Amino acid sequence: MGELLDALLRCLLVLGAFLTLPLLVGQMEHKAMAHMQSRVGPMAAGGFHGWAQLVADGIKFVQKESITPVAADRRVFELAPAVALVPYLVAMLAIPLGPFFGQGNLIGQDLDLGLFFVLAAMSVGVLGTLMGGLGSGNKYSYIGGMRVAAQLMSYELPMVLAAASVAMAAGTLSLIGIADAWEPWWLLAQLPGLIVFFVAGLAELQRPPFDAPLADAELVMGPLTEYGGMRFAMFLLAEYAGIVVLAGLTTVLFLGGWAGPWSDHLGWAWTLLKIAGVSFLVIWARVAYPRLREDQVNALAWKVLVPLALAQVTLTTVLVVW
């Protein structure tokens, strides 16, 4: 009975994190981006610095009519937002937050193969955008879908290679094990892997500067063109949840997770702080860099990131064997 209650409580906590953390990242995007562009961002909703802006957005989305275009492939079109969103919830189950006041590790479910579980879940999420592109019956969506597929195939390899390098160094595929095995000098030895992982993750989430599939100046909104109301909101939520999952994975793999002063008690706070920092970098990248052209996107993956990731794996092999 106690075990069942424990599992239920953990699931509820993960669900709570899934419903709040992406909104916090979204609000951070509103405000941080605004200040970087010499604006103030939302100020009215909720009173204090527009803190309730995303809640207001959510209420607006709920009220909108749900429209399915006549030319759309109905079931594929309607299923796509769920396929995009749910995998990130599943991925969050396996990401550890670290020791919680000496009460053991704060994690949904400690998996033997957590790293592969999260990577597999992330790769399913992109299928949702692809389904949206295929099923909308709109040529802009279709071109966007092709770009999604090309981008996904290019960036999957460097991402997995970079993650494999850390797993090799730690000698385990368990995310808790990797974070426990982490040592500060890995920041230097795994730096190329960190860069490759972060950049490939940005591309996998189709975040700027890798948003060629959405490219509002060329393709209206790419695969999301025909979506409105709740379905569009689900795609938006999936994007922010994706940022949280990417930031969490980067933190646990490359930044030592809960490593920091008093980590036995405050480990979870360190992890959350690092996740917030990485999320901020994701937002900063959007403001700082212009969108890459479609051929540049693929050239970067195959000519820079894959060789860099292979070099990182070689370096790790030498370090581990030596």
Partner 1 sequence: MSLTELVFLVLAVVAAGSALLSMTSGQLVHSALWLVVTLGAVAGCFVLMTAEFVAWVQVLVYVGSVVVLVIFALMLTRQTSATTAEVTGNRWIAAALGVVAAIGLGATMVAGFRGEDIEGRRIGTAGSIGQALFTDWVLPFEILSGVLLAALIGAIVISRSGSDR
User: Given the complex with partner 1, which of 36 and 120 has the nearer CB atom?
Assistant: 120
Q: DSSP string of 133-200?
A: HHHS--HHHHHHHHHHHHHHHHHHHHHHHHHHHHHHHHT---HHHHHHH--TTHHHHTHHHHHHHHHH
Return d(Cα 281, Cα 297) in angstroms, integer. 19
User: Given the complex with partner 1, which of 72 and 266 has the nearer CB atom?
Assistant: 72
Q: DSSP string of 45-78?
A: TTSSTTTTHHHHHHHHHHHS-----TTS-HHHHH
- Least Å distance between CB 153 and partner 1? 6
Return d(Cα 218, Cα 130) in angstroms, integer. 18
- Least Å distance between CB 47 and partner 1? 44
What residues form DSSP beta bridges with 98? 106
User: Given the complex with partner 1, which of 13 and 313 has the nearer CB atom?
Assistant: 313
Q: Which residues bind partner 1 (CB under 8 A)?
A: 73, 76, 111-113, 116-117, 119-121, 123-124, 126-127, 130-131, 134-135, 137, 142, 145-146, 149-150, 152-153, 156, 160, 173
3-state helix, strand, coil in the chain (%, to 5): 70, 0, 25
User: Given the complex with partner 1, which of 206 and 279 has the nearer CB atom?
Assistant: 206
Residue type, 199: V
- Least Å distance between CB 30 and partner 1? 31
CA 263 to chain centre: 25
Q: Burial level of 102, CB count in 10 A (0-12/13-18/19+)?
A: exposed
User: Given the complex with partner 1, which of 134 and 236 has the nearer CB atom?
Assistant: 134
- Least Å distance between CB 75 and partner 1? 9
- Least Å distance between CB 134 and partner 1? 5
- Least Å distance between CB 152 and partner 1? 5
Q: Are 216 and 93 in contact (CB under 8 A)?
A: no
- Least Å distance between CB 204 and partner 1? 10
User: Given the complex with partner 1, which of 74 and 293 has the nearer CB atom?
Assistant: 74
User: Given the complex with partner 1, which of 29 and 204 has the nearer CB atom?
Assistant: 204
Residue 3's CB is within 10 A of a number of other CB atoms, namely: 7
